[in-house]
Amino acid sequence: MVIPSDLLNSMNVSNRIQTAELDWEVIDGIEIPISKQFGDVYFSKDNGLLETRHVFLNGNDLSERLANLKDFEYFSVGETGFGTGLNILALWQLWQQVRPNNQSHLHAISVEKFPLSKADLIRALNVWDELKPLAEQLIEQYPLPIAGCHRLTFPKERFSIDLWLGDAQEIFPSMAKTKAVNAWFLDGFAPSCNPDMWEQNVLNNIVRFSDYSTTFASFSVAGILKRGLKAHGIDISRPRGFGHKREMLKAVWKLPEIDDESLSLAQTSSGTKQQHIAIVGAGVAGLTTAWAIAARGHQVTLYEQTEALSGASGNPLALLNPKLCPIEQSHEHLMTLSWQHALNFYKNFKAFRPLQIHQIALKNADQLLDLVNQYPAQVITHPVNSLETAYSSILLNEAGSVSPHQLRDEILQHPSIDLKIAHVTALVSSENKVQLQTNNEIIAEVDHVVVCCARESAALFESYPQLKPIRGQVSWVDNTFAPLPLNKAYSYGGYCMQLDASQMILGASFYPNREDQDVLIEDHVHNFELIHSAFPEYAEKLPLPSTWQGRASIRAQSLDYFPLVGKMQENSRIATFAGLGSKGFLFAPLCSEILVAQILGEACPVPDRLLQKLNPQRFQKKVKPKKPYFKSQ
């Protein structure tokens, strides 16, 4: 049976990322990459860097606009084809040259259907000596060829990139608009070579992500592009193109002559002052949110009743152990996206230890083993197990562990983060501020509040989604007789890895609807039985569970297993972040970025469908009028 090409393109296999196939042509001693898929060059044979500056940087008047950004102003640039990254690197270089000495931030959003392999990217960017310091930083964070949004952050540069891998026709409609794009690089191969990039569907979504005063620039003056922009009332001009090209496109979405009140909030609320944000709860959700906010130059105060990491986040070691989805679902699968983001996040801390995880297939073996055929070869392989087992397994090469208390200490060293020991009992919101109270005494007044108190979050809202308690106990035991490699962990329903040179940590029991936190021998026995089921020969050498040590805590899990991330009421200054279950350290870094995007008005790094699955308002009954969720003055 032959499947029609249009049907084949609509199937889920289109979400598997295929890297670019290249030919190379040497012109005047310079290697020019040429796409086999589209039969076109990636940059001008005359001088690609000069063309980028002429068409995209000057075409959007970026030198002047970036130089005049106000303190804490956020400016975003969208691009329709990442290619070799040349446009983004040229933008970054310009940013270094003209950026004001304040807390303004530049963010780039780019889409690519056929990303270059890392080896080809390195080869292509070797052409530009003056860009090498930036290219090296880009290459270091360049993502694996897996569909979805990959956020690359360069905090010292006040610069970040969202690189969305996939088909532009699918990606742009899926993206959530939390901030309008200020300028567009309408790039990609020529319309005659790559017509899909210039389709009306793509242009309509580019306009959806724009607003009055957004500008557009392109090397192409094709009729479909001009007509598509003009249909939305966007003014177009055709100044001189680069090199032998007679024309290029330059456009701006001008504000109609109407009242100022009609201006979109997306373009008028530049957020040009430092925010003071309170975070109630200092577990991993609160700590990662604090870090994300402080990294943007804002002031954060964490409030905790006793000490940071007093709850479920306070175990001796956390394993970043994702259950990966079929590759076709990766672009909007929370755990897969979170896993990739978490590895990039934690590698900036000494608390992180990179390692490999042997994931043992106790059940559904075919599904687990098939992941080897779906993901890039450097991600998953067939292992040679160092522990004797009767079961098949895969080796997840991209994984790690986190020392929670060391991470806590590193985060709390940030000069913009302050920890206060206090029991916040009420939040009182006015139009511009939120008061934090303890027994009717005002202890602080801030711009925004994020409540990260797991199940105790409900006490600060008049209505809150149900979070069920799940008791979990980890165990640690002396295994000096046969320590595991420090760069390995084992997952088998439970998990085990080295806690330090002489002890192994095992986890974890899982008892829904229990809130007792005593360390119990029966939970040690449970953890022993888990490891024994996978590695009986090794487990029988362990000391008796009666000699083990441990820690029990209560996880909070939402009814649909998705965390609660966002505001409990539209236009509120109070948000929540809770319900991470047993995957707190895996979910927290990405969810923190999502939350900050909503609070500060920045680009969101996940598709809208996933954003709605995280929205804490999803549990509200829409048939009844909404009640206020916090006290108002």
Q: Which regions of 255-342 does DSSP assign to beta strands (E)?
A: 276-280, 299-304, 318-320
pLDDT score for 360: 96
d(CA 56, CA 54): 6
Task: With a cut of 70, say whether residue 192 has pLDDT above it.
Answer: no
Taking residue 362's Cβ as centre, other Cβ atoms within 10 Å add up to 18
Cβ atoms within 10 Å, residue 176: 19
pLDDT in tens, 459-507: 999 999 999 999 999 999 999 999 999 999 999 999 999 999 999 999 9
Tokens 């490699």 correspond to: 485
In whole angstroms, give the CA distance from residue 125 to residue 82: 13
pLDDT over 90 (residue 251) = yes
Average pLDDT over residues 595-618: 96
B/e letters for 278-303, b = 16+ CB within 10 Å, e = fewer, are bbbbbbbbbbbbbbbbbbbbbbbbbb
Going by C-alpha positions, the residue among 327, 387, 326 that lies closest to residue 359 is 387
| Closest by CA position to 169, among listed 21, 14, 56, 325 | 14
**386-396: pLDDT as tens digits:** 788 999 999 99
Task: Round the CA-based radius of gyration of the chain to a whole number and report it.
Answer: 26
Q: How confident is the model at residue 536 (pLDDT cuts 50, 70, 90)?
A: very high
Sign of the C-alpha dihedral computed for residues 124, 126, 130 and 132 taken in this order? positive
Give the pair of three-digit tokens for residue 615. 């929205």
431 band by pLDDT with thresholds 50, 70 and 90: confident
For 344, residues 6+ apart whose C-beta sits below 8 A from its C-beta are: 141, 151, 152, 153
pLDDT in tens, 373-414: 999 999 999 987 678 899 999 999 999 999 999 999 999 999
> How is residue 408 annotated by DSSP?
H
Look at residue 46 and tell me whether its pLDDT is greater than 80. Answer: no
Question: Which residue shows structure tokens 């916040």?
Answer: 424
More confident residue, 605 or 34: 605
Region 342-346 average pLDDT? 97
Asked if 580 and 285 touch (Cβ cutoff 8 Å), the reply is: yes
DSSP 267: H
Cβ atoms 172, 209 nearer than 8 A: yes
b/e burial code for range 471-492 (CB count within 10 A of at least 16 → b):
bbbbbbbebeeeebeeebbbbb
pLDDT of residue 257: 63
Give the pLDDT score at 631: 35
The helix (H) or strand (E) run that includes residue 554 is: strand 549-558
pLDDT for the residue numbered 4: 37
| Local confidence band at 9 (pLDDT 50, 70, 90 cut-offs) | very low
Tens-place pLDDT, residues 21-35: 888 888 777 788 888
Q: Which residues in 76-97 are b (16+ Cβ under 10 Å) and which e? A: bbbbbbbbbbbbbbbbbbbbee
The mean pLDDT value of the chain amounts to 90
Angle between helices 200-208 and 223-230 (to 10 degrees): 40
**pLDDT band at residue 620 under the 50/70/90 scheme:** confident
For range 322-342, the mean pLDDT: 96
Q: Give the pLDDT confidence score for residue 199 in this predicted structure.
A: 77
Closest to 87 measured CA to CA, from 120, 118, 54 = 54
**Beta strand ranges found along 253-351 (DSSP E):** 276-280, 299-304, 318-320
Q: Residue 451 above 90 pLDDT?
A: yes
Q: Which of 49-53, 202-206, 576-580 has the highest mean pLDDT?
A: 576-580
pLDDT of amino acid 195: 60
Among 43-47, 313-317, 602-606, the minimum mean pLDDT is found in: 43-47
Q: Tell which residue, 62, 227, 78, 269, has the closest CA to residue 161.
A: 78
Q: What percent of the chain has pLDDT over 90?
A: 78
- Phi then psi for residue 514, to 5 deg, are -125, 140
Question: What is the pLDDT, as a whole number, of residue 571?
Answer: 87
Predicted pLDDT of residue 2: 34
Mean pLDDT of the region 422-440? 94
pLDDT at res. 632:
32
Task: Record the tokens describing residue 168, joined without a space.
Answer: 């532009």
Distances (CA, A) of 187 to 58, 217, 249, 428: 14, 8, 11, 48
CA-to-CA separations, 498 to 491, 525, 619, in angstroms, rounded: 13, 19, 40
Q: Using pLDDT thresholds of 50, 70 and 90, give the confidence band for residue 197.
A: low
The pair of structure tokens assigned to 180 is: 């309008």
Q: Tens digit of pLDDT for each residue in 266-298?
A: 344 445 799 999 999 999 999 999 999 999 999
